[in-house]
């Protein structure tokens, strides 16, 4: 059998976890698929997993699991590994999926392949995983008595297979105090100040070094406001101190997935592009027709962003937008 750690929210499994299930189904060769869920809403979230091919959903019940506790969750995985001897254990390649599986890997001294996009059954397991935030692929052999892997989000499609509901099995993991030292003790809700969240925005306009100064972002702010979008930037901008890091798009910043990404005065380094792969359409504005971003964008305007952005805003106003 194979085990998938399923993250969930508001009583529904996360898409990234369903995608992990879809990839793992490819390598189980018909062996039963089990899931592990913990925390508030776990039973509700487990209800729909049967449709994705999960035969049994294990619900870890422990008051300490009410808030995120990665070591405790890894202990739950460890218990199920002992009890069920799975061939593989997988999770979403989300922040927490990667974290929990790394703890499980450390506890069991097992190899872990993070952020896989494909896997081929066998022992060792052959996997393809991403590097450089998705700019590079690695084919690798995953060894170990239990194969631990996470699945990079948005690289595999979740799919229902029309099976019946999963059997629920509740268990109480045995947790020591030491397993609960790392645990969320407080959650601070941040108001987005009426602004649009960069990660969720349907329109993002970013400026890079080409903006020239913090003030150089004013036209981008105006355009974003007009379309209900968000303003982003490149790392050249954040390390210059022109914008906060929360605005940075890229491998070490925010990953965005808008309908349109307007990237102005940005050269198109692989680490920047790693953050905007999810964009449906990329329009580059650059003075340099040879800039690498031109070879990675759908559309380009060759010109100075200080002239082009205000012209777009004016054109939209003329068309009656905003």
Partner 1 sequence: MNILVCAKRVPMTGGTIVLTEDEQSIQTRHLGFTISPHEECGVEEAVRLIEANGGESVVLALGPSEAEEQLRDAMALGVDRAILLETADEVDGQATAAAIVAAIEAERAAGVEFDLIFFGNESADSGNYQVGIRVAHALGRPCVTGVKGITVQDGRARCEQETASGRDVYDVPLPAVITVKEGLNLPRYPSVPGRLRAKRKPLAASAPERRDAGVEKLRLRLPPGQGKQAEILGHGPEAAPAVVEVLRRAGLVT
Ligand X SMILES: Cc1cc2nc3c(=O)[nH]c(=O)nc-3n(C[C@H](O)[C@H](O)[C@H](O)COP(=O)(O)OP(=O)(O)OC[C@H]3O[C@@H](n4cnc5c(N)ncnc54)[C@H](O)[C@@H]3O)c2cc1C
- Measured CA to CA, the distance from residue 317 to residue 322 in angstroms comes to 7
Residue (32 or 209) nearer to partner 1, CB: 209
274 in Cβ contact with 254 (< 8 Å): no
306 binds ligand X (CB under 6 A): yes
Q: Which of residues 120-179 bind ligand X (CB under 6 A)?
A: none
Residue closest to 52 by CA, chosen among 100, 6, 83: 6
Q: How far is the CB of 308 from ligand X (least distance, A)?
A: 7
- Judged by CB under 8 A, which of 183, 212, 218, 222 binds partner 1? 183
Q: How far is the CB of 150 from ligand X (least distance, A)?
A: 20
307 binds partner 1 (CB under 8 A): yes
Residue closest to 155 by CA, chosen among 199, 113, 98, 117: 117
Q: Which of residues 217-246 bind partner 1 (CB under 8 A)?
A: 227, 229, 235, 238-239, 241, 245-246
Please work out the total of residues on this chain that contact ligand X, with binding judged by CB under 6 A.
Answer: 28
DSSP assignments along 22-34, one per residue:
HHHHHHHTT--EE
Task: List, in order, residues 6 or more apart from 206 with CB less than 8 Å away.
Answer: 220, 231, 232, 233, 234, 249, 261, 262, 263, 264, 266
108 in Cβ contact with 81 (< 8 Å): yes
Q: How far is the CB of 87 from ligand X (least distance, A)?
A: 35
52 binds partner 1 (CB under 8 A): no
What are the structure tokens assigned to 100, written together? 């929990």
103 binds partner 1 (CB under 8 A): yes
262 binds partner 1 (CB under 8 A): yes
- Measured CA to CA, the distance from residue 100 to residue 7 in angstroms comes to 11
Contact pattern from residue 2 through residue 41 relative to partner 1, giving x for each residue in contact according to CB under 8 A and a dash for the rest = ----------------------------------------
- Judged by CB under 8 A, which of 30, 190, 193, 194 binds partner 1? 190
70 in Cβ contact with 95 (< 8 Å): no
Which listed option, ligand X, partner 1, none, makes contact with residue 297 (CB within 5 to 8 Å by class)? Answer: partner 1
Residue closest to 68 by CA, chosen among 116, 149, 5, 120: 5
Contact pattern from residue 259 through residue 298 relative to ligand X, giving x for each residue in contact according to CB under 6 A and a dash for the rest = -----xxxx-x-xx--x---------xxxx--x-------
Q: Which of residues 284-303 bind partner 1 (CB under 8 A)?
A: 284, 289, 291-303
- Measured CA to CA, the distance from residue 254 to residue 258 in angstroms comes to 12
Which listed option, partner 1, ligand X, none, makes contact with residue 275 (CB within 5 to 8 Å by class)? Answer: ligand X
Enter the DSSP assignment of 275.
Answer: T
63 binds partner 1 (CB under 8 A): no
- Measured CA to CA, the distance from residue 277 to residue 272 in angstroms comes to 9
- Measured CA to CA, the distance from residue 257 to residue 204 in angstroms comes to 9
Residue (18 or 92) nearer to partner 1, CB: 92
What are the structure tokens assigned to 200, written together? 């969720």
Q: Cα angle at 118 between 116 and 123, to 5 degrees? A: 90
Q: How far is the CB of 72 from ligand X (least distance, A)?
A: 32
Q: How far is the CB of 53 from partner 1 (least distance, A)?
A: 26
Contact pattern from residue 122 through residue 151 relative to partner 1, giving x for each residue in contact according to CB under 8 A and a dash for the rest = --x-x---xxxxxxxxxxxxxxx-----x-
Would you tell me which residues interact with ligand X (CB under 6 A)? 208-210, 234-236, 248-253, 264-267, 269, 271-272, 275, 285-288, 291, 304-306
């Amino acid at each position: 059998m194979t085990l998938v750690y399923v993250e969930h929210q508001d009583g529904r499994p996360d898409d990234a976890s369903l995608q992990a299930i879809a990839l793992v189904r490819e390598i189980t060769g018909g062996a039963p698929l089990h899931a592990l869920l913990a925390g508030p809403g776990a039973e509700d979230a487990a209800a729909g997993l049967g449709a994705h091919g999960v035969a049994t959903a294990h619900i870890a019940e422990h008051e300490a699991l009410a808030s995120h506790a990665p070591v405790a969750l890894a202990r739950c995985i460890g218990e199920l590994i002992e009890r069920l001897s799975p061939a593989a254990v997988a999770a979403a390649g989300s922040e927490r999926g990667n974290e929990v599986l790394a703890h499980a890997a450390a506890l069991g001294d097992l190899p872990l392949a993070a952020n896989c996009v494909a896997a081929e059954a066998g022992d060792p397991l052959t996997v393809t995983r991403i590097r450089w935030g998705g700019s590079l692929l690695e084919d690798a052999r995953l060894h170990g008595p239990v194969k631990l892997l996470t699945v990079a989000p948005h690289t595999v499609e979740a799919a229902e297979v029309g099976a019946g509901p999963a059997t629920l099995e509740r268990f109480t993991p045995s947790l020591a105090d030491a397993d609960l030292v790392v645990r969320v003790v407080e959650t601070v809700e941040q108001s987005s100040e009426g602004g649009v969240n960069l990660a969720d925005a349907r329109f993002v306009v970013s400026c890079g070094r080409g903006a020239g100064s913090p003030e150089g972002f004013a036209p981008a702010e105006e355009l974003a406001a007009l379309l209900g979008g968000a303003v982003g930037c490149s790392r050249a901008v954040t390390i210059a101190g022109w914008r906060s890091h929360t605005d940075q798009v890229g491998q070490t910043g925010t990953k965005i997935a808008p309908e349109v990404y307007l990237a102005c005065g940005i050269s198109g380094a692989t680490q920047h592009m790693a953050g905007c792969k999810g964009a449906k359409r990329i329009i580059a504005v650059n003075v340099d027709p040879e800039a690498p971003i031109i070879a990675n964008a759908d559309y380009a305007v060759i010109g100075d962003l200080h002239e082009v952005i205000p012209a777009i805003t004016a054109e939209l106003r003329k068309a009656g937008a905003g």
